[in-house]
Amino acid sequence: MHKPLLVLLASVVVSGCASQQQTLYAWGGYDESLHAYYKHPQERERFVDNLKTVVLQAEQEGRKVPPGIYAEYGYALYEEGQYGPAVGYFKKEHELWPESRILMDKMIRNAQRQGSRQPAAATGPAGAVAKGTP
Amino acid sequence: MTRHVPIAMRAPALILVAGLLGCAAHAPPPKDYSKFLAARPRSILVVPVVNNSVDVDAPVYFLSTLPVPVAERGYYVFPVNMVKRVLEDDGLSDASLVHQADATRLCNLFGADSVLFVTIQRWDAKYMVLTTKVTVQFEYALKDGRTGDTLWTEKRTMVYQPKQSSSGNGLADLVAAVVSAAVEKAAPSYMPLARQANAAAVRYPGPGFPAGPYSPLHGKDLPEPSSLAAAPPPAQGTGASPSPAPAGRP
């Protein structure tokens, strides 16, 4: 009946805190996803998918990918043995966030070292699946 | 009239209440920001938390709530899950060992300006027949990566207890209370409470710390010289105000 009034009221309540509701970054549920992963480690794939979505959405919208997210995603790929793509995301973190450079340089070196040890056949999605599902 | 709120609806309600409370003006407690302002960190390393509660899951669950509020203050926050794994690979899977480590060495390892140590003091749900009281308590300490000095500390306690609404029907109220207490006991609302605690801890002006380089408020929300507790009490005149020059890091 008084739906417009209700909506108005609700927006007043929300805008009253507007300065606190605005966020610098679009996190895309990163914290909930990390919590779910720690709660159910067997659902790691969901966590990795969420990281990928956060990255893609921010890139598509021309927004900054939140701090640490390129690196988290790169590290997830690193854990799956996808060293080439991992290096790519570590470099993106390095580029976007100068504060990350010392750590990213180390991770890039690690990933490249691991990648050079690895037989070519094991790289790519096949190797990832083999390691991703114990 | 619903007497007890389903689980799924409780968390948003809690957050809404927190949001509204957040609007209330709080006089910031007097804190010494002189070391923080001298260090002016750009990045914060969030390391795994020490758990002094009896809930073994608490530390990893709580860790997941830390990066977003800290990054939203305008600081670069290192990828928490990756940092956790890297520390584990280095033989530091015990968070208390990480917290005992030298802050400057830790920061050096990751190239961080500062490190945030958080300890869980409480993370429990007390079932009291007619109600369940959920309590979380955290201690936060930010340390400088160059000097090891403590730049900021805070302690936060949050309590949640399902509200008892009276319908006039004593028996119905009793049943509703018992059900609500049992539901809360089965799945205590730790996560929204933890998020509220973090939001309240880092808020500034308030008990938190000034905005970092990625916040539009950076450099605009610096504490008044009077709140630099290290400064001597003001003499009769205006006194020389130590203007904190925005030194920043190279």
Nearest CB among A24, A35, A68 relative to B74 is that of A24
* Cβ pair A17:B112 closer than 8 A: no
Residues of A in contact with B77 (CB under 8 A): 67-68
Q: Which of B72, B115, B146, B190 to probe the A interface (max A CBs under 10 A)?
A: B72
pLDDT at residue A9, rounded to an integer:
45
**CA-based nearest residue to A20, from B27, B204, B155:** B204
Task: Quote the minimal CA–CA distance from B28 to chain A in Å.
Answer: 17
pTM: 0.78
* Cβ pair A21:B19 closer than 8 A: yes
| Summary mean pLDDT of chain B | 83
The HSE-up count of residue B227 (CA atoms within 13 Å, CB side) is: 18
pLDDT at residue A76, rounded to an integer:
98
pLDDT tens, residue by residue, A78-115: 999 999 999 999 999 999 999 999 999 999 999 999 99
pLDDT tens, residue by residue, A38-76: 999 999 999 999 999 999 999 999 999 999 999 999 999
pLDDT at residue B178, rounded to an integer:
85
Residues of B in contact with A79 (CB under 8 A): 85
CA distances from A51 to A93, A97, B82, B85 (A): 13, 17, 13, 17
pLDDT above 70: residue B124:
yes
Top pLDDT among B172 and B90 is at B90
Residues of B in contact with A100 (CB under 8 A): 43, 76, 78, 111
Task: Judge if the upstream peptide bond of residue B205 is cis by omega within 30 degrees of 0.
Answer: yes
Q: What is the bridge-based pairing of β-strands B43-46 and B114-127?
A: parallel
* Cα B61 versus chain centre, distance: 14
Nearest CB among B22, B77, B81 relative to A34 is that of B81
| Rg of chain B over all Cα atoms, to the nearest angstrom | 21
Q: What is the mean pLDDT of residues B156-170?
A: 84
pLDDT tens, residue by residue, B95-109: 999 999 999 999 999
pLDDT tens, residue by residue, B133-150: 999 999 999 999 999 999
Question: Which H helix or E strand runs over A126?
Answer: helix A125-132
pLDDT above 80: residue B2:
no
Distance separating alpha carbons of residues B135 and B189, to the nearest angstrom: 9
* Cβ pair A97:B76 closer than 8 A: yes
* Cβ pair B78:A71 closer than 8 A: yes
pLDDT above 50: residue A126:
no
Distance separating alpha carbons of residues B165 and A13, to the nearest angstrom: 24
Crossing angle for the helix pair A83-96 and A69-79, to the nearest 10 degrees: 170
pLDDT above 90: residue A125:
no
Distance separating alpha carbons of residues B190 and B120, to the nearest angstrom: 12
Task: Quote the minimal CA–CA distance from A67 to chain B in Å.
Answer: 6
Task: Quote the minimal CA–CA distance from A98 to chain B in Å.
Answer: 9
Which band of pLDDT confidence, cut at 50, 70 and 90, is reported for residue A21? low
Which band of pLDDT confidence, cut at 50, 70 and 90, is reported for residue B24? very low
Task: Note whether B194 contacts A: Cβ–Cβ < 8 A.
Answer: no
Top pLDDT among B183 and B72 is at B72
Task: Quote the minimal CA–CA distance from B32 to chain A in Å.
Answer: 25
**CA-based nearest residue to B129, from B177, B188, B168:** B177
